Amino acid sequence: MARRRDQLFVAVLAAGAVAGLVLRIVMANSVWGVLDSDEAVVGLMARSIARGDIPTLFWGQGYGGTTEAFVLAGWAGLFGWSTFAIRVVAVGLAATATVLVWRIGRRTIGPWPGAAAALFFWLWPAPYVFWSLKLRGFYWTALVAGLVFTLCALRLAERPNRRDAMVAGLAAGIGWWSTPQIAVYAVPVVIWLLARHRDAVRPLLTAGLPAAVIGALPWLAYNVRHSFVALDPPELAAGASGSYLEHLGTFAGRGLPVAVGARLPWTEQWLPGGALLYVAALVAVAVVIAARRPPLLPVVLVAFPFVHALSPWSNYIGEGRYLVYYAPFLALAVAGALRHRVALATGAVVLFAVTLVGLDRTAGLSSPYSGDRRVPESLAPLVADLDRRQIRHVYADYWIGYRLAYETDERIIPEGFRNAEWSRRVDRATHVAYVYMEGDPMADDVRREMRRIDQDWVEHRVDGFQVLIPDRSG
């Protein structure tokens, strides 16, 4: 009888894994899979790497690294450059993180709950299933690095050794190069080791620390040459502000509900029954923390909000990007609270259903908007028009310009803060176009400016786009 229950539970896990993969394939071929300029920038950096021009930090964002661009450069170099290549790398990183959640779960909550936690992470919540299709430059590589660091710390606690210490250090260094947000893993894990497993600290210092320096070497080398520019406070994202206490309040009242699927991304509207789901998730976290039996997990669950709140971006929610690092531990907490196989299987079905409802209610919101208009899924008519007019340089909304550059293999390049050299080339060009969505107020600003300087121009529309071409011949 027990053997049959085991087989049934394995079947549920396998079915869930397949369902998650099929869902991602369907999403990749729908409005959810439309390429946006954030991803295009990662693709453009990957192409730069393939040509031998190595960017160390994310274009226009000194606080982020280029680790995902390196992974994409390797994959696309073998199998070709496309939107599909971006999707494969993103889903591959998410799948790698899922395996790591399973391995961490085995050591913290047990074999069956650990496997279920990996399934929960793969299937839930809606924002992070969507996020697993996207490459944003460093989020997934930082998450994978943080989970590798966590797993190695658990192994070190069982048996201190140099190999796990070196892998942990290398992961921490690569994570730091990716983003300082790796601290949400490193800080609680190190605190736990210092408090409970001091024997593991010695190999971390002697073998792990040098490995961490090697992993972070690109970041260190660049910043030594450029006066540690990555540590300069960057311009905050829209809505990012507030005090430390306000950040903690945002985590509890807005961010965590999105991270468990109780509130929708972007709009932050509550799902029907979302409050109940949120309370259930809080109860699961509280149960695991109160039990104090699984090693490390309660420490991370408690410490994460306080480390996360140090970031100047922790008051910004959007699609929940800054809480994606908490998702593995939420999955572990829920599985750790449920524990029994029937409850775990039921939990997987319920959480997957919540994800499907969340995706249905936010379909289309993931697509990039220029002004208040959604950018079309295909830029082919616009590209054909620009090619016909032999236009190679454009001033365009961000969500149009860098996507144009990626999809035309940089035949058409935009002006913008991501690439200063391109901006200089566009400014010097004599044959340029201004490209906006039809009805975008930015086009009105361009017209007014050209009238002010007595500049002639021609204007036409292409499948919802406005193309303004000034006469610079004189």
Among 99, 101, 88, 25, smallest CA distance to 327 is for 101
pLDDT at 380 over 70: yes
Q: Give the residue among 121, 137, 129, 136 at the shortest CA–CA distance from 30.
A: 129
Instruction: Give the start-to-end residue ranges of the domains of the chain.
Output: 2-362, 373-470
Contact 122, 16 (CB under 8 A): yes
Candidate from 64-68, 227-231, 339-343 with smallest mean pLDDT: 227-231
- Reply yes or no on whether the pLDDT at 31 is more than 80: yes
Q: What's the rounded mean pLDDT across residues 144-156? A: 98
- What is the average pLDDT across 138-160? 97
Cα distances (angstroms) measured from residue 179 to each of 107, 315, 448, 450: 27, 17, 41, 42
Helix, strand, coil percent values for the chain (each to nearest 5):
65, 10, 25
Tell me phi and psi for residue 80, to 5 degrees: 105, 155
The per-residue pLDDT for range 354-368, each reduced to its tens digit, is 999 999 999 888 888
Quote the percentage of the chain above a pLDDT of 90.
82
pLDDT at 322: 93
Q: Is 332 helix (H, G, I), strand (E, B) or coil?
A: helix
Alpha helices in 51-200 (DSSP H): 67-79, 83-108, 111-123, 126-131, 139-158, 162-178, 183-196
pLDDT score recorded for residue 3: 73
Coil/strand/helix, residue 424: helix
Q: What is the pTM of this model?
A: 0.94
Please spell the DSSP secondary structure of 141-158, one letter per residue: HHHHHHHHHHHHHHHHHH
Return the SS3 of 417.
coil
Q: Are 80 and 86 in contact (CB under 8 A)?
A: no
Q: Looking at the predicted structure, is the pLDDT value of residue 237 above 50?
A: no
Give tens-digit pLDDT for 306-335. Answer: 999 998 888 889 889 999 999 999 999 999
pLDDT higher than 60, residue 173: yes
Contact 369, 398 (CB under 8 A): no
| Mean pLDDT taken over the chain | 93
pLDDT at res. 473: 54
With a cut of 80, say whether residue 472 has pLDDT above it. Answer: no
Is residue 413 within 8 A of residue 425, CB to CB? The reply is yes
CA 17 – CA 10 distance, rounded (Å): 11
Average of per-residue pLDDT across 231-238: 56
- 8 A C-beta contact, residue 20 and residue 27: no
- Return left, alpha or beta for 320; rule: phi > 0 is left, psi -120 to 50 is alpha, else beta: left
Per-residue pLDDT of 178-213, as tens digits, reads 999 999 999 999 999 999 999 999 999 999 999 999
Whole-number Å distance between alpha carbons of 150 and 184: 11
- What pLDDT, in 10s, does the model give residues 278-290? 999 999 999 999 9
The residue count for the chain: 474
